[in-house]
Structure 1
């Protein structure tokens, strides 16, 4: 075969595209990847699976007005096949399906066009899709959409997603009844009789391998037998829900590799895309790159070096974003996009007389909304950057459209939104100049607990129950990724709840990372009340104190605040029922961010020892609770 030639074979039920490196077979007209031939392996995908269950796009949808995050599962099967591009340099294939009223109630009201691209010298292939709704179509909810690949389970046993998050993995058989014991939710299984005894006593849970969008650019699998790597590279997060710090699934036992685009993971129903009657919409998901590598040319090479090579390939893909080769006009090239620059400063007169430079601040463009609305936004596109040590930022390759500029800064509470909408046009270069964010503040800090960084990672995370361990996270900075840590609260505080004394307690050892209920018996739980004790040398008469409560996660929780009277009724403050992010159960140290500012009249306080009572009042499940980010009391 010529090393410079692409080949396309169109058969009755299949389409095959190949170069000198890889051959990809897709079902026709469905557009399901049935085989990937690479190196010495005829098919990297699991041939024991039905052809429809190997490499596919899928979605979950529900009728308009539905609640929750589940619905009808649809492995997207196209009805029309077309060759979009066939040159010496590129093949691009389209597998599409159109929606009409005869499909109402049967399929999500979307036109979907799945594209697959093979370049001449590429060690892998690309996939993207255009989702479209036309005016007048019925409303519906899009709960989830993604790409999934199921690899050969007897070959791909080593998974990698970060330098300190990679390991030899159990088999899917180990999760089956008899070998695996289901735990408190179906994704978590205790391996009691695994085929490979080294995994005995470990918990397998796909959520243990979740990661933040901004951090996981590449993840995948290595076959030690023959030294082959299969990697999913996402060069941009612009098309994903929830911004750069949104967490999602990556790879997990299967061996499965996912490219998640829309999901309610770590955010709950607020992240479901809800379309109204007649609402038009268009969005491009991807392209993502499926990269293949091997040790074939150097048989003595360590297969783990394939991970290093995959990371380098990810950097090269990021550098070349936005790609110049997708044929769809819905995917704009670099010249059709705009750029925004500026400087972020933070003004907090109780921290510094001068403005603080926004070193490390998150700066982003997202569709217009309220402060922080980008957390739950998914219909449009988002573009995020980090400010440098001078607070300068540059956001490049922004798709045309109308946006708000949002920001938040580790070390300061709350979030910023620029008061004017930005209109991005092709080739524009907008300099925002100096932007000044003034976080909520009414007086000097009397005391504070934690560090405002939108996570609970700085608090005390206990050791896991020895019966429920993932060995990867022993002596690991992500201690929170172990199963069952919510149960450790009741074990740590069997007779009374947490009491934190300002000036004596240390939040890294004395403030439990999750405010959860306590188990009463096998099937019931009770609310827990934490106390913060502090001394006031004097009370400002007729003044107002402010309690700032920054919440890193909430799962069907109700936070109540009382002062100096645990029975105060009604409570001084209640959040009402908040949050469905499930971050506690899914080993995430944060979900959606909340900030509550509680006004506290001076009459509530006394000279001497005072106590603030924080009650998590909803207690019907072990997973309900709150993770605090940061708490501060301000004097008048």
Structure 2
């Protein structure tokens, strides 16, 4: 039940749009601003640029930072490059060139701001047609926005590295930020970053002279507030006087890249709030959208809801503190939006309604004869539809749409509201290595109800488990995460489940292992306390770093010297790394196995505990092993920076098959 602004008493007020501040040139009237107003919220946009220059609500004339230029308050933007530019990026704040009223009646206003690609030599924009839409509904304290991007057949090739919508809020009003139930706090001011001490990369600043003295000595870094797609439904800011919340609500992940465990930015000091649609964060160049050979493409990003709430009357009459009241209401609104998805009100033909979508359902079971003679339910499995591709290809896929769900305790799943198209079904089960892929493509048509029945996943397995380290869950969170250097902390993450989000943890490795690298004794050590969460480089001078070699020591008897053992190696992250594996010979050249150079996810620096997943099945000939103590040497050989390294997900050593 909403305890905030009631919608019902305003249903009689019509939605209005106004064209303001016009200039007359000859017989031509040029309207510079457009205002949408439903009696609860008033949204001002530039014409024809489609920049949100003002949001008026609850007596506040403008929730956005009015000291910024008008194009730097609420906007869509992107980063792109031409194929030949390699790592070069062109920043493009999307300014419309044409304005159209799509819908205007007593229930709804929908506005369109379009920009058509200019193919002339003077044109320097990304080769996309872009349509930014804004929707205001009767009785809704907020407004919706979505974008339609299109690349026509034969147009130039390019790479799309990032696109998003951004809101810069009034820094004098919004000081409290909320990302989740356990990630909320009073934030520094933007001036604090300007006066602070820069750290290892531009995003990280040590606050040395903050306006709020209580924040002195803390680190501010926007990546400390990143979030998984699956959890990134609502985040935003709260103004304390008057009590007003500004929230970004994203009710669906279908248009985001990389699946449910993909991480990205949310809100951060500015005060800024974002809806990220495409980015390289935590995945690197693997997730860039690369368009080649003039391929046609179209995608709808959103709609997202910019939701506003406030507390009527005296705060003392409520049982909760005001920040919690506003946060809980925002979460409730998220649930309403999720239940309403897909929306019935967007008018673009590129946005299919519920009756134009399909459903796929089934039950996932796991077959592993070394664990059970019976099939095991795929408890809490992640099951999703994504573009056809190889196992794991969905991690770096972003051109099309993805649809994911979690199976129940018995492995039953149902994926609803799937856009028409051809898909592969992918799944993985926490606690089991590898990934399932359904053999056939699924053709989703309007109204489809595909019932797949029982699906059986057989995880990679050759022989019995002789020993294992970690939990196969695509994360390094179960390993030892050290306390941060007390000179570089964020108080929010002290004694917090997300303690890995502290700055500078990569430096703690050398503190904990000053005289040599990690050695792990199977059967003696505990990975929760004795396996450092990330294999990083070791700094030996200000600008020089050294490769590290970890050892796993284990006892083995009754060796089958003619047989083949198996090492299952699952990585949760890789950043410009090469992991070399050697058995009982630390100098073997070449190494018995190498991943080669892998990963650009930069997770170590960005406090993410995982990036893209990597999985390797390594044959271990019996003649490489000895009766008694054996050693596996794990060398991360690349060492040009402190941020090169890997995070382990799970390691398992299997005996020879008994078949």
The question of a shared fold, defined as TM-score above 0.5 by the shorter chain, is answered with: yes
Q: Does 2:64 align with 1:55?
A: no
Using the TM superposition, give the Cα deviation of residue 64 of structure 1 relative to its aligned residue in structure 2, in angstroms.
2.0
* Residue of structure 2 in register with 1:292 after alignment: 308
The root-mean-square deviation of aligned C-alpha atoms, in Å, is 1.0
Contact map agreement 1:66 1:141 (CA 8 A) in 2: no
In structure 2, what is the Cα distance between the partners aligned to 1:170 and 1:519? 31
In structure 2, what is the Cα distance between the partners aligned to 1:395 and 1:183? 44
Contact map agreement 1:498 1:530 (CA 8 A) in 2: yes
User: CA separation of 1:519/1:80 partners in 2, compared to 1, >3 Å: closer, same or farther?
Assistant: same
| Segments of 4+ moved more than 6 angstroms | none
What whole-Å deviation, never above 9, does each CA across 1:274-294 have from its counterpart, x for those lacking one?
A: 101311000000000000000
Contact map agreement 1:3 1:19 (CA 8 A) in 2: no
What whole-Å deviation, never above 9, does each CA across 1:193-243 have from its counterpart, x for those lacking one?
A: 111111100000000000001012100000011100000000000001111
Using the TM superposition, give the Cα deviation of residue 10 of structure 1 relative to its aligned residue in structure 2, in angstroms.
1.8
User: CA separation of 1:157/1:3 partners in 2, compared to 1, >3 Å: closer, same or farther?
Assistant: farther
Q: Does 2:482 align with 1:466?
A: no
* Residue of structure 1 in register with 2:49 after alignment: 30
* Residue of structure 2 in register with 1:509 after alignment: 529
Contact map agreement 1:3 1:20 (CA 8 A) in 2: no
Using the TM superposition, give the Cα deviation of residue 309 of structure 1 relative to its aligned residue in structure 2, in angstroms.
0.4
* Residue of structure 2 in register with 1:541 after alignment: 561
Using the TM superposition, give the Cα deviation of residue 100 of structure 1 relative to its aligned residue in structure 2, in angstroms.
3.4
In structure 2, what is the Cα distance between the partners aligned to 1:282 and 1:87? 29
For 1:415-564, what aligned pairs fall within 5 Å after superposition? 415-564=435-584
In structure 2, what is the Cα distance between the partners aligned to 1:458 and 1:297? 46
Using the TM superposition, give the Cα deviation of residue 399 of structure 1 relative to its aligned residue in structure 2, in angstroms.
0.1
In structure 2, what is the Cα distance between the partners aligned to 1:62 and 1:534? 49
Contact map agreement 2:11 2:139 (CA 8 A) in 1: no
* Residue of structure 2 in register with 1:585 after alignment: 605
Q: Does 2:325 align with 1:325?
A: no
In structure 2, what is the Cα distance between the partners aligned to 1:463 and 1:105? 52
Contact map agreement 1:553 1:579 (CA 8 A) in 2: yes
* Residue of structure 2 in register with 1:620 after alignment: 640
Number of residue pairs matched by the alignment:
633
Contact map agreement 2:315 2:322 (CA 8 A) in 1: no
* Residue of structure 2 in register with 1:74 after alignment: 92
Moved more, 220-229 or 291-300: 291-300
* Residue of structure 2 in register with 1:390 after alignment: 410
Using the TM superposition, give the Cα deviation of residue 416 of structure 1 relative to its aligned residue in structure 2, in angstroms.
1.0
Using the TM superposition, give the Cα deviation of residue 481 of structure 1 relative to its aligned residue in structure 2, in angstroms.
0.2
* Residue of structure 2 in register with 1:408 after alignment: 428
Match of 1:220 among 236, 242, 247: 236
Using the TM superposition, give the Cα deviation of residue 104 of structure 1 relative to its aligned residue in structure 2, in angstroms.
6.9
Match of 1:262 among 272, 278, 282: 278
* Residue of structure 1 in register with 2:116 after alignment: 98
User: For 1:596, what is the secondary structure of its paired residue?
Assistant: strand
Match of 1:240 among 225, 235, 256: 256
Contact map agreement 1:460 1:513 (CA 8 A) in 2: yes
In structure 1, what is the Cα distance between the partners aligned to 2:157 and 2:267? 32
User: For 1:599, what is the secondary structure of its paired residue?
Assistant: strand
* Residue of structure 2 in register with 1:251 after alignment: 267
For 1:239-388, what aligned pairs fall within 5 Å after superposition? 239-300=255-316, 302-304=321-323, 305-388=325-408
In structure 1, what is the Cα distance between the partners aligned to 2:306 and 2:537? 43
User: For 2:43, what is the secondary structure of its paired residue?
Assistant: strand
For 1:94-133, what aligned pairs fall within 5 Å after superposition? 94-102=112-120, 106-133=124-151
Using the TM superposition, give the Cα deviation of residue 3 of structure 1 relative to its aligned residue in structure 2, in angstroms.
4.4
TM-score, normalization: structure 1? 0.98
Using the TM superposition, give the Cα deviation of residue 105 of structure 1 relative to its aligned residue in structure 2, in angstroms.
6.0
In structure 2, what is the Cα distance between the partners aligned to 1:573 and 1:44? 57
